[in-house]
């Protein structure tokens, strides 16, 4: 007689865009022997459709599939469950915390720091009494996990030095690449920060909810993303708007801060 598979043996995790949290989730799945597929995605291409084949196979086997921080650009099959804490899921625990709860595993100090960083950036880590050494280690590891290169670090330094202005308490930086996290880390602590290129912008810190409300139409059209709580971040998806539209949006945000 064939042995019936347990529920944990019928679970499959599909991993989203790489950052420190996603790699920590993958590490925990490795430790516990839970099946997963990792297509080495980035934040901008972490779509459910990337796993179309795996979804079809899992559905045929009646498996439970967990998509971790994946944009749902195709219909969800039966048995699919989303794990996320951005946009409409912003009220939930971090993805790492959700996965650990599903696995019934306690979180160690390192995992707590990873979750706090992903959910609340440096202020989130400070809330759990992180030391400066812990903060530096987590931020460096997160940038590395995102694929930040030495060139990205240099371009961030150049942007902060040459393209940074301040309007009241708002720092405004025109970036030389789409890698914004090294800019954020160099300018922290800040009350609020706007980083942009010709194709995208992200607003961080206090006033985020005001910016999100101002662009409510764009948010409802699913052209914006947000996370990190009331002092987190909100931004436009790269490539959705023209150069002229991005420039107008940036000027609107500057006006909000005046």
Q: Please report the pLDDT score of residue 255 as a whole number.
A: 87
Cα Rg of the chain (Å, integer) = 19
At 141-198, the pLDDT tens digits run 999 999 999 999 999 999 999 999 999 999 999 999 999 999 999 999 999 999 999 9
Give the Cα separation of 203 and 123 in Å (integer). 16
Q: What is the mean pLDDT of the chain?
A: 93
> Given a cut of 60, is residue 5 above it in pLDDT?
no
Q: Read off the pLDDT of each residue in 212-226 and give the average, rounded to a whole number.
A: 94
Tell me the three-class secondary structure of the chain, residue by residue.
Answer: CCCCCCCHHHEEEEECCCCHHHHHHHHHHHHHCCEEEECCCCHHHCEHHHHHHHHHHHHHCCCEEEEECCECCCCCCCCEEEECCCHHHCCCCCHHHHHHHHHCCCCCHHHHHHHHHHHHHHHHHHHCCCCHHHHHHHHHHHHHHCCCCHHHHHHHHHHHHHCEEEECCEEEEECCCCCCHHHHHHHCCCCEEEEECCCCEEEEECCHHHHHHHCHHHHHCCCEEEECCCCCEEEECCCCCCHHHHHHHHHHHHHHHC
Q: Please report the pLDDT score of residue 2 as a whole number.
A: 38
Q: Please report the pLDDT score of residue 148 as a whole number.
A: 96
Q: Read off the pLDDT of each residue in 236-255 and give the average, rounded to a whole number.
A: 95
Q: Please report the pLDDT score of residue 7 as a whole number.
A: 59
> Given a cut of 80, is residue 134 above it in pLDDT?
yes
Q: What is the dihedral of CA 256, 125, 185, 152, to 10 degrees?
A: -120
Categorize the per-residue pLDDT at 4 as very low, low, confident or very high, splitting at 50, 70 and 90: very low
Categorize the per-residue pLDDT at 8 as very low, low, confident or very high, splitting at 50, 70 and 90: low
Q: Please report the pLDDT score of residue 44 as a whole number.
A: 87
Give the Cα separation of 205 and 193 in Å (integer). 6
Who has greater pLDDT, 231 or 150?
150
């Amino acid at each position: 007689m064939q042995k019936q598979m347990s529920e944990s043996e019928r679970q499959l995790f599909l991993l989203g865009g790489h950052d420190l949290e996603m790699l920590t989730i993958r590490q925990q799945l490795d430790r516990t022997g839970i099946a997963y597929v990792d297509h080495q995605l980035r934040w901008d291409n972490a779509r459910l459709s990337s796993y179309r084949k795996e979804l079809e196979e899992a559905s045929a086997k009646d498996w439970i599939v967990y998509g971790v921080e994946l944009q749902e650009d195709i219909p969800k099959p039966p048995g699919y469950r989303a794990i996320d804490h951005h946009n409409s899921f912003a009220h939930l625990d971090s993805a790492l915390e959700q996965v650990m709860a599903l696995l019934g595993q306690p979180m160690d100090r390192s995992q707590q720091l990873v979750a706090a960083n992903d959910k609340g950036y440096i202020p989130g880590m400070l809330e759990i009494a992180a030391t400066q050494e812990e903060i530096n280690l987590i931020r460096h590891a997160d940038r590395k996990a995102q694929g930040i290169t030495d060139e990205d670090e240099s371009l961030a330094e150049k942007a902060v030095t040459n393209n940074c202005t301040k309007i009241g308490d708002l720092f405004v930086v025109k970036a030389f690449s789409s890698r914004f996290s090294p800019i954020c880390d160099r300018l922290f602590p800040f009350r609020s920060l706007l980083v942009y290129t010709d194709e995208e912008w992200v607003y961080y810190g206090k006033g985020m909810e005001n910016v999100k409300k101002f662009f409510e139409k764009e948010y409802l059209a699913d052209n914006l993303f947000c996370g990190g709580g009331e002092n987190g971040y909100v931004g436009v998806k790269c490539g959705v708007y023209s150069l002229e539209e991005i420039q107008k949006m940036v000027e609107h945000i500057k006006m909000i801060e005046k």
